[in-house]
A and B are shown apart, each in its own frame.
Chain A
Amino acid sequence: MEIIGGAIAIGGSIFLLLGSIGIIRMPDVYNRIQAGTKASTLGTMLSLVGLFFIFPGWFGKFMVLILFVLITNPVSSHTLARAAYFIKVPLTKITKVDKLKEHLTIDESRRAHLRKVKINKEGE
């Protein structure tokens, strides 16, 4: 049982190592957010599950810690990516599609159209 726990903990730390290698080698801010946050979340959760196999009596603290990491880490990465997009950090050269930009321009043109319609109605 303990040896299974140790093996799972080693797997989690290997995921942490892969996440940090992704942070070094990716060409772009957004790719670095993607690589770093997902891999580190999975790595930390796997490490804590492996340690739970070694000490089953500490169930409560491991459970609360896994829940914290699972809730807070995607929220922080989402906020960071949103801030990086709106302060115009450049995308990499090999980017093919930018769906958010199309969405924002469509939204802006529709909003301008609605404003014009409203002004015309008030003018009548």
Chain B
Amino acid sequence: MVNILLTIAVSITLLSIVITMVRFIKGPTNVDRIIAFDVMSVSSIALIAFIAVLSNRIIYMDVALVYGILGFLGVIVVARYLERGL
């Protein structure tokens, strides 16, 4: 029962990643692409947590922790580059 519910949740998250990819392809300016990158990295944190629970291993959560720190760093670096302050 729980596996069915988690499978539905994983497929909705995958659908959201695919929809965000469209904005990454189309995006008129650089800022649009960085927003899409940010939302995709946060969605993949949730996806990694779902995979960790589905395969029942706690070590997979460490990857989500690393992503929680470093996706933030990438977005900050790009924003400072656009503002000419890096």
Contacts and interface: CB of A to CB of B under 8 A. Distances in A.
Given A19-B16, A36-B35, A83-B80, A6 B5 contact: yes
A13 B12 contact: yes
Nearest to A30: B31
Interface residues of A, number: 52
Nearest to A6: B5
Interface of B: 1-2, 5-6, 8-10, 12-13, 15-17, 19-20, 22-23, 29, 31-32, 34-36, 38-39, 42-43, 45-46, 49-50, 53, 58, 61-62, 64-65, 68-69, 72, 75-76, 79-80, 82-83
A61 B27 CA distance: 35
Main secondary structure of the interface of A (DSSP, over half): helix
A72 B49 contact: no
Interface string A57-100: 01001101100110011011101101110110100000000000
